């Protein structure tokens, strides 16, 4: 099936600029300068929206350079319309009461059935949306239909600002299975810790509920309410006593992305089912590949324990890579500078164009 477009209404195609210190990259051993204090999720120093979602406190100028992270709230997100989705993440100011999701890249579409479509074209590099609020342990369930094309990957993950990650991924044309995985602070293990879970009815044609039940002592993946994998924190503790277990506040992210392209490594291409066929009849007919999201539910593990005035998560002053310390605070998450055009970030600063997400409100017909 594909999206047939009737009466397309292009609502917005936004672009933005951010002030970035010229060629200044950042990591845990090379921190950002005070003139561009925030290390973005892509490893570049800057100001404004660089200090919001994805800002890495361990690579920024100080642990307090990044804005506090909006605290978790129980919610059931549906997509009858897109009024709670900001279609250009670079215009988000940190106010999670205004928007539930931001589009980091690509284009979203809304079907007449109230489904959110994430699209992939040869030009847009895929679509990713992120929750504006963070989860620090909790249960997240995404009800979705995946893609079905070789080289095209559908993903539902949690991602922290220091790269703790929990995954559900659906590579290529493998429409009877899903893959679970996790990463600790972006470290790629020598031996994969991923799992494959099969015997599903067609994941492209049928909705399934995919759950990440992330608790402080154990992590469970489930499909349609049935547990398929459990990982204990104790299973990840090394001889050095460090638990390499996701433990830091994370955004929920949904995406469709092109793994099967020449720029990818051969192993990635093979995992994704080969190179993408941009001459596929489905692509030619609809003008894109896509995945559909019906709903995302979030139950926060800390909602009852948090004080009534809780606004945000912050990293403690003694935080290190091996012992991140997270506190709940009443500090604001709003960065008033993120909405304005940023001035040049000190001597040698440059204007860098940031690709913006776009949204098309579509009278769509599923066939």
Q: Which residues are catalytic?
A: 165, 169
The set of residues, in sequence order, having a beta carbon less than 8 Å from that of 277 and lying 6+ positions away, is 149, 150, 151, 283
Pick from 121, 48, 172: which is nearest to 278 by CA?
121
CA atoms 318, 319, 325, 328: torsion sign: positive
Residue 304 backbone phi and psi in degrees, to 5? -80, -30
Residue whose entry in the numeric block shows the structure tokens 């001035």: 343
Q: Given the DSSP bridges, would you call strands 195-197 and 178-183 parallel, antiparallel or unpaired?
A: antiparallel
Q: 111 to each of 6, 130, 143, 171, 365, how far by Cα in Å?
A: 11, 20, 15, 23, 7
For the chain, what's the residue count?
367
The answer to whether 259 and 109 have CB atoms below 8 angstroms apart is no
- The terminus-to-terminus CA distance of the chain in angstroms comes to 5
DSSP E strands in 65-115: the ranges are: 69-70, 75-78, 85-86, 101-105, 107-110
Residue whose entry in the numeric block shows the structure tokens 């994941």: 203
Q: 151 to each of 120, 122, 138, 185, how far by Cα in Å?
A: 11, 12, 31, 26
The per-residue DSSP string of 195-211 comes to EEE---S-TTTS-EEEE
Task: Determine whether 227 is exposed, middle or buried from the number of CB atoms within 10 Å of its CB (0-12, 13-18, 19+).
Answer: exposed
The token duo for 261 is: 């392209």
The answer to whether 100 and 85 have CB atoms below 8 angstroms apart is yes
The answer to whether 122 and 136 have CB atoms below 8 angstroms apart is no
């Amino acid at each position: 099936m594909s999206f047939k477009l009737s009466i397309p209404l292009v609502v917005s195609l936004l672009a933005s600029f951010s002030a970035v210190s010229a060629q200044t990259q950042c990591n845990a051993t090379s921190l950002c300068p005070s003139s561009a204090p925030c290390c973005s999720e892509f490893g570049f120093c800057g100001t404004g929206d660089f200090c919001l979602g994805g800002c890495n406190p361990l690579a920024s100028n100080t642990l307090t350079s990044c804005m506090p992270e909006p605290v978790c709230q129980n919610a059931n997100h549906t997509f009858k319309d897109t009024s709670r989705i900001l279609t250009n993440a670079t215009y988000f100011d940190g106010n999670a009461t205004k928007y539930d999701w931001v589009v980091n890249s690509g284009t979203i579409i809304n079907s007449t059935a109230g489904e959110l479509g994430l699209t992939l074209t040869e030009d847009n590099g895929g679509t990713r949306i992120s929750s504006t609020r963070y989860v620090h342990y909790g249960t997240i369930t995404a009800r979705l239909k995946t893609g079905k094309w070789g080289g095209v990957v559908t993903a539902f993950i949690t991602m922290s600002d220091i790269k703790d990650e929990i995954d559900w991924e659906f590579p290529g044309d493998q429409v009877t299975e899903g893959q679970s995985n996790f990463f600790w602070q972006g470290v790629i293990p020598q031996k994969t810790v991923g799992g494959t879970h099969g015997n599903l009815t067609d994941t492209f044609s049928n909705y399934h509920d995919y759950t990440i039940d992330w608790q402080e002592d154990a992590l469970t993946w489930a499909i349609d309410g049935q547990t398929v994998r459990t990982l204990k924190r104790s299973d990840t503790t090394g001889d050095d006593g460090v638990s390499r277990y996701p433990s830091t506040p994370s955004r929920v992210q949904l995406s469709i992305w092109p793994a099967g392209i020449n720029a990818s490594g051969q192993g990635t291409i093979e995992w994704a089912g080969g190179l993408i066929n941009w001459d596929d009849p489905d692509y030619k007919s609809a003008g894109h590949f896509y995945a559909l999201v019906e709903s995302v539910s979030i139950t926060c593990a800390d909602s009852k324990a948090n004080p009534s005035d809780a606004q945000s998560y912050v990293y403690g002053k003694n935080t290190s890579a091996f012992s991140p310390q997270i506190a709940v605070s009443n500090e604001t998450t709003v960065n008033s500078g993120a909405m304005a055009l940023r001035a040049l970030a000190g001597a040698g600063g440059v204007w860098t164009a940031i690709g913006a997400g776009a949204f098309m409100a579509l009278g769509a017909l599923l066939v």
